[in-house]
Structure 1
């Protein structure tokens, strides 16, 4: 017997608010049944990946490093353009690992403090190989 990953679940202070933010990042809408105040909100991508955001009771901000995080790769444009787009919608830079030769990544945080990385696009990788 084996298992499959059904959802990638993210704990949240406000599931609807942070799911709406990630909807902008991923370019896919929330499930049509999701509304403000819902304890769970879902984003389903065409490739079958499901992101489930669940409101959990937490009295303070996250203080520890994520043990699991997402690595984002721009579908068009460059890593640096994607970093700027994400900053404009509310992300913050946590750790900038971009190198002078164009390699590297940027570790960012979403509005609730969850960490994720932005890597180079496929085109950028192909140009340096």
Structure 2
């Protein structure tokens, strides 16, 4: 079995897909456009795509599943700053004085996601 997509229910699929496309650097599918009920962010193989689907109800409780991101060419703190500048919101800060920990953010529709330390930062501790 292959994990093809991770699907996120949302109010505005194109807007949320565009946010995640900017965050990840992965493109929105060429066939998708504003107003579509389903919009795909195409990840590089073998990573599953991010599929955003319009639903009528809004987010009401904490997500049961969320993304944990590890930056590849930035530090955790630089990545947190970059993503907040793109429209994410700080939710919970789990960084510790010794440099360990992670940051939980919210995307523009309130879905939680975490940013962990980069591989180079992990080697430093």
TM-score (ref. length: structure 1):
0.92
Secondary structure at 2:23 match in 1: helix
Shift in Å at residue 26 of structure 1? Answer: 0.5
C-alpha displacement at 1:81, in angstroms? 0.2
Report the Cα distance in structure 2 between the residues aligned to 1:88 and 1:69, rounded to whole angstroms: 20
Cα RMSD after superposing both structures: 0.9
Superposition deviation, residue 118 in structure 1: 0.3
Q: Quick one: which of 87, 92, 96 aligns to 1:95?
A: 92
Q: Which runs of 4+ in 1 moved over 4 A?
A: none
2:106 corresponds to 1:109: yes
Alignment of 1:61-100 (within 5 A): 62-100=59-97
Q: Secondary structure at the match of 1:82?
A: helix
Structure-2 separation of matches of 1:101 and 1:4: 39
Q: Which of the residues 30, 36, 60 maps onto 2:34?
A: 36
* Paired residues, number: 124
Could you give the per-residue CA deviations for residues 55-92 of structure 1, whole angstroms, max 9, x where no partner exists?
Answer: 1112x4x2311110000111111000000001101100
CA-CA distance at 1:29 after TM superposition: 1.1
1:17 corresponding residue in structure 2: 15
For normalisation by structure 2, the TM-score amounts to 0.95
Residue of structure 2 equivalent to 1:47 = 45
Deviation at 1:6, TM superposition (A): 1.9
Q: Distance in 2 between matches of 1:104 and 1:31?
A: 34
Could you report, residue by residue, the CA deviation over 1:93-123 in whole angstroms, capped at 9, with x for unpaired residues?
A: 1100000000000000000000000000000
